[in-house]
Structure 1
């Protein structure tokens, strides 16, 4: 039997106590500020009890407790170390401080939206907040799997909306800047830079590329693995990340010559260190790509000081290594590849991701073979 009764607290405040029996017949109670809230709760609770999916507050874990269960599952599923660190960071810096003590049964849609608003107000980017919300949703989903909560209200919340005014096109070198970068690239780094520009590989995929995945006879590069920031090998970021990319003529010639000069190592890497081990991402930036941009004049001016402490403008590299991936996509689109083909070559998990990144660049043209040669010819 469900009931609602009015209570006057010692402080003089009035509260409404909702009482009901759970699925096991045990009497449960919950207090509300208004009778309307108590009525709404009883309607929901009785329906959940009738369908066998009700979780009382007293047995519901907190968000922090559920998060630990989720992280243990992620570890058991052997997710990459970098992914686990990212998830732990979401919990430690964002979810835990604001929602950690909240019981899952009280994680309502308004509370979730308020949580996202707090993060945005605190200066977190929309991209970061979206990722944190995905982690929060995964925490609740794992709790659902264990029967600790009935519904995932994170899925029902719409806390982060993208504004067209805030959309940023990916930063990438212009055609002239690419030409300057290629011209300034020293011989020992030329194969890596050209491969990044003409294949669109991620930095982690470049670092994990082996000669066994480069078919120099057919002129095809296969992406089958990547290396994380701890230099550990793993599969591509998604199922779509496993892909084959045709090599344009001059890049193919460059790689054939590079294979003869490439440092040998047990891993058979295409772009190893001089000892044949995995290149660190920071090493590529500090020893190659950042100095290369300065040499090529592809820079931005930053505030700095000279030896006498006077304020001066200092030229710094303009782009990250990932910008070459965006440049590759732009060059392919310029040559007329279809959106679906761009999705495949870039290893995007969905066509929506491709359009989100490069939708403004598309125009209808065809002929992929001529495109691959055209991209290279325009720069070399």
Structure 2
């Protein structure tokens, strides 16, 4: 067991220190306790943690968030795609490092983290991402036995924004947009297959099976800092997606004169980049479509993926088919993301149950009538 001893500071203040042996049997001490009871409680905590094999040496907690943050980012860089890593690096540079970079990890308090979260400016995604970076760094410190617990966990975070309105185009609106776009076949393809922009623009001629009317999604081209990074699809899994028969001829025309390894869309060599949101060709096409249709919504390229889900559901596609088409990890995810598209299914269930009950009642009445006759 350890021991508690009083001492007097240079300013004449009475404090307490504790002495104990670490699991490696080396003698150590901690000081600065204001009361004897505080010192005794800390000593008891140390002894319990030693008995449980959970002891953390306080001297390992003097390392700064800045030092561990740089290591954590290097680790993330090695396992994340560039498009996923960049937001983390940005959150670290803009929000986490300026506030916490110079702090020793052992000096951070839960209340400080909560105050920081509450004071961060930006939407819920920005705040949650910044918190995730700090919490991830401290998680690593806990796993490395530098901290006994992560004070950045169990804080109150802003609710996720589920109110962002999705726009679903009709068949006619999709055609109107394609008629005014620089890449009309690409517009139609996105709206009727649900591929992400990077998945569609990464398709090569060899990925298209004209006989089965299928495309094999094996690559993803993502624009990060004006540079196109090509990797695996978002889920790291390839998938086969069907396309409607009316797209067969336009796709075949795009593939004419190209080698199997060349890109289907564009000139075959360079990926078609995501157009600028303010003055790109897609935005221009939307403005032109709005000029002829006053009800045409202000859509983004990603809304074509939502449109594909909507058109598939309207056509009677099962949720599992929609899941496979979109490349979601599970049908539950598809239902969660597009719950509004399946509202009519609830009405259909109620109608079906009503009809079944009425049919059952008729059978019961006829059966009773038959019994009375007998």
**Correspondence for 2:359:** none
Equivalent residues of 1:113, 1:157 under 8 A apart: no
In 2, Cα distance between equivalents of 1:280 and 1:300: 27
In 1, Cα distance between equivalents of 2:293 and 2:15: 62
In 2, Cα distance between equivalents of 1:33 and 1:249: 79
In 1, Cα distance between equivalents of 2:169 and 2:184: 19
CA change 1:260–1:275 in 2 (3 A) is closer
Q: Aligned-pair distance for 1:170?
A: 3.9
1:46 aligns with 2:43: no
**Correspondence for 2:27:** 26
Equivalent residues of 1:170, 1:326 under 8 A apart: no
Q: Aligned-pair distance for 1:34?
A: 7.0
Q: Aligned-pair distance for 1:352?
A: 5.2
Equivalent residues of 1:20, 1:28 under 8 A apart: yes
Task: Report how many residues are paired.
Answer: 339
1:189 aligns with 2:191: no
Q: Aligned-pair distance for 1:189?
A: 1.0
**Correspondence for 1:308:** none
Equivalent residues of 2:205, 2:260 under 8 A apart: no
Q: Aligned-pair distance for 1:168?
A: 0.9
In 1, Cα distance between equivalents of 2:15 and 2:171: 70
1:280 aligns with 2:273: yes
Secondary structure of the equivalent of 1:227? strand
| Deviations, residues 170-223 of structure 1 (Å, cap 9, x unaligned) | 42244277346345335x511110111111121221221212222111111221
In 1, Cα distance between equivalents of 2:8 and 2:88: 44
Equivalent residues of 1:54, 1:150 under 8 A apart: yes
In 1, Cα distance between equivalents of 2:157 and 2:100: 17
**Correspondence for 1:58:** 59
1:247 aligns with 2:247: no
In 2, Cα distance between equivalents of 1:300 and 1:40: 73
Secondary structure of the equivalent of 1:228? strand
CA change 1:356–1:253 in 2 (3 A) is same
**Structure 1 residue aligned with 2:216, among 213, 222, 230?**
222
Q: Aligned-pair distance for 1:333?
A: 2.7
In 1, Cα distance between equivalents of 2:37 and 2:327: 51
**Correspondence for 1:293:** 286
**Correspondence for 2:69:** 67
In 2, Cα distance between equivalents of 1:194 and 1:170: 22
Q: Aligned-pair distance for 1:140?
A: 3.1
**Correspondence for 1:346:** 326
Equivalent residues of 1:184, 1:295 under 8 A apart: no
CA change 1:217–1:180 in 2 (3 A) is closer
Trace 1:70-109 onto structure 2 (pairs within 5 A): 70-75=72-77, 77=78, 79-109=80-110
In 2, Cα distance between equivalents of 1:37 and 1:178: 70
**Correspondence for 2:364:** none
Q: Aligned-pair distance for 1:56?
A: 2.7
What CA RMSD, in Å, does the superposition of the two structures yield over aligned residues? 3.6
In 2, Cα distance between equivalents of 1:86 and 1:195: 29
In 2, Cα distance between equivalents of 1:183 and 1:278: 19
Equivalent residues of 1:181, 1:298 under 8 A apart: no
**Correspondence for 2:252:** 256
CA change 1:72–1:169 in 2 (3 A) is closer
**Correspondence for 1:160:** 157
**Correspondence for 1:125:** 123
**Structure 1 residue aligned with 2:228, among 228, 231, 240?**
231
Which stretch shifts more, 280-289 or 125-134?
280-289
In 1, Cα distance between equivalents of 2:39 and 2:323: 51
In 2, Cα distance between equivalents of 1:146 and 1:349: 32
- With the length of structure 1 as denominator, give the TM-score of the two structures: 0.74
In 2, Cα distance between equivalents of 1:82 and 1:222: 22
CA change 1:231–1:43 in 2 (3 A) is same
**Correspondence for 2:194:** 200
In 2, Cα distance between equivalents of 1:33 and 1:361: 61
1:209 aligns with 2:211: no
Q: Gaps (5+ residues) in structure 2?
A: 347-374
CA change 1:79–1:179 in 2 (3 A) is closer
CA change 1:266–1:52 in 2 (3 A) is same
